[in-house]
Amino acid sequence: MFFDWHYLLFILLPGMALGIWAQVKLSHAYGKYSQVGVDSGMTGAEAAREILDRAGLVNVPVEEIPGRLSDHYDPQKRALFLSSDNFHGQSIAAIGVAAHESGHALQQQAAYGLFNFRMAIVPVTQFASTAYGMIFLIGIIFRSFFPTMITIAILLFAVITLFQLVTLPVEYDASRRAKEQLFRLGLVHEHEREGVSKVLNAAALTYVAALVSAVLQLLYLLSIRGRR
């Protein structure tokens, strides 16, 4: 696999290029709008708290965690975690990211189907991610087992790809809910709409890149199985 030029030219390089492009877009948008304050003067933590409280989610805590863009919602703990910059930040970027993570809490509250499905397949996806590389390596080392191992690897990576496929609409829906709440509650004003959208759209591109890379990898595995 490591000396397969088809993999290098049509899978690895395009996937890496798309991922880098998405990260650059996110860094640019986040960097720009993290320097633009919101008229309300609210911090990301305050905006998230407002959205959650208005939705009746008063028992969902909003906590600070270290790291840059380490923000996430934990559906198991039913808690929202914001990176320090977004927890304390009073910028368009901080408000947008905080609202997006609040959108995931709203999804869980509404029993949004794709959100629940993604939660359900997390354990099997984690297993597939751990086992995939080992199975593929066994197939390479022990050539007599290769047909069986590549089939198992394909099934494992199909699970990973499915997870990425489900994640994309879940993330877009969270952003939709975020923007809806921000403007409905008056946490941002009309002239700030463009900045919020650019930050959230740039973040969504990272999920698009992850899905495309996964699909390319799965197609490559299928091509190997076909050649064998």
Q: Which long-range contacts (CB under 8 A, 24 or more apart) does 150-158 make?
A: 150/221, 150/224, 150/225, 150/228, 151/225, 153/221, 154/218, 154/221, 154/222, 154/225, 156/128, 156/131, 156/132, 157/128, 157/132, 157/214, 157/217, 157/218, 157/221, 158/218
Which one of the listed residues 101, 180, 190, 192 is annotated catalytic?
101
Predicted pLDDT at 3: 53
d(CA 228, CA 217): 17
- Name residue, tokens 């593929």: 136
| The pLDDT value given to residue 2 | 45
3-state secondary structure of 194: helix
Mark the ranges of the chain whose per-residue pLDDT is less than 70.
Answer: 1-3, 226-228
* pLDDT confidence of residue 10: 73
What pLDDT score was predicted for residue 1? 43
d(CA 145, CA 127): 21
Q: What is the pTM of this model?
A: 0.92
Give the distance, in angstroms, between the CA of residue 127 and the centroid of all CA atoms in the same chain. Answer: 19
**How many residues in total does the chain contain?**
228
Question: Would you say 72 and 121 are in contact if contact means Cβ atoms under 8 Å apart?
Answer: no
Contacts for 3 with CB less than 8 Å, ≥ 6 apart? none
Q: Is 101 an active-site residue?
A: yes
DSSP 185: T
User: What is the reported pLDDT for 70?
Assistant: 96
Per the prediction, the chain carries an average pLDDT of: 93
